[in-house]
Amino acid sequence: MQFGIIGSGSWATAIAKILTDNGNTIHWWIRNEEMIGLMQKRKHNPQYLSSVYFNPQQLVLSNDLAQVVASSNILVIAVPSAYAESVLESLPEDAFKGKKIVSAIKGILPNINVLLNDYLSNKFKFPLSDYFTLLGPCHAEEVAGEKLSYLTFSGIQEATVFDIARHFETEYINTVVNQDVIGVQYAAVLKNIYALGAGIAHGLDYGDNFLSVYIANSANEMSQFFKSLPANSNPSNKEINYTASVYLGDLLVTCYSLYSRNRTFGNMIGKGYSVKAAHLELSMVAEGYNASKCIFETNKILQAEIPIAETIYQILWKQLPAAEGFKKIEGYLF
């Protein structure tokens, strides 16, 4: 298999480390030509996870997206959801024909409010059968430190999912497989919203006791959202365990971990930063910000009971004071 990676942030760099540590040569699309030169010279990504060094013989670096796509059988898309459209829009409709796509995107495409698989289907006629997801619970920083982590791969073709997953298994990465390719994507979207809320709570000086109740209720709210999805969202028709690591585990680590940019962003909001100031201070994309609006709009159709997520949306997008919003959230918890 020839792997291609689209993206050059911390998560893309972590994925590149996993694949190369497992002996794979990768084609890696990086937008900035100057950065490519630095990586070739220094053998690491100077902007993200700079402690990770690569064997240059395993890297084919290029800022020509079409060339990376053409050279790869399996493409891992690992750009922030807000940039996915602008990155892919220049490709012709048949660019992905015969390819497998693995989404490492943890969000909804905010400009059109759809998951990546829907965008690929609409623009490139790309079939869901060739679409897979790569999700956590897993922080890029812990991959860099080779701390044991678990990756969940999802897709409706179970045999192919196992085949892709085995290329990511290392001494520090264990892989898990499921077939809930739509549900796991919404889980990644929702957990970022709740983690942002956990950060707000911390910034407002709520303690661990409150946070444990908040997270338990957030997990319950997530399950209510999943149950509201259309029946065809689970093509395998298998019963889904929403306490599994890709659902509950990823929610927990994103809410608690100091590596979580969503928690960090929320903490700033709780301490009184404006959304704009928090964005500038963080200097990285907190997926939960756009996700809160996307889920709010999506839920106008689904009508799930998700008052915590909707209150976080009100805080971030409708200027509801954080302290007032969390007083409301206190009333939703049990």
CB–CB of 242/225 below 8 Å? no
Sign of the alpha-carbon dihedral angle for 141, 146, 149, 152 = positive
Neighbours of 223 (CB within 10 A): 16
- CA distance linking residue 291 with residue 157, whole number of Å: 28
Structure tokens at 181: 């390719």
39's tokens: 């990586």
**Which of 259, 187, 255 has its CA nearest to residue 216?**
255
Which of 174, 167, 175, 171 lies closest to 19, judged by CA?
A: 167
**Nearest alpha carbon to residue 285 among 9, 15, 21:** 9
Could you tell me the two tokens for 166? Answer: 């085995």
Cβ atoms within 10 Å, residue 217 = 17
Distances (CA, A) of 240 to 27, 181, 183: 35, 11, 9
Structure tokens at 332: 């939703």
Q: How far apart are CA 72 and CA 137, in angstroms?
A: 26
Eight-class DSSP state of 76: E
The active-site residue out of 191, 238, 276, 293 is: 191
User: Is 191 noted as a catalytic residue in this protein?
Assistant: yes
Compute the radius of gyration of the chain from its Cα atoms.
19
User: Hunting for tokens 């679409």 — which residue is that?
Assistant: 131
Smallest CA-to-CA distance from 193 within 131, 110, 271, 134 is with 110
Please name the amino acid found at residue 81. S
Q: 26: which strand partners?
A: 3, 59
Catalytic site residues? 191
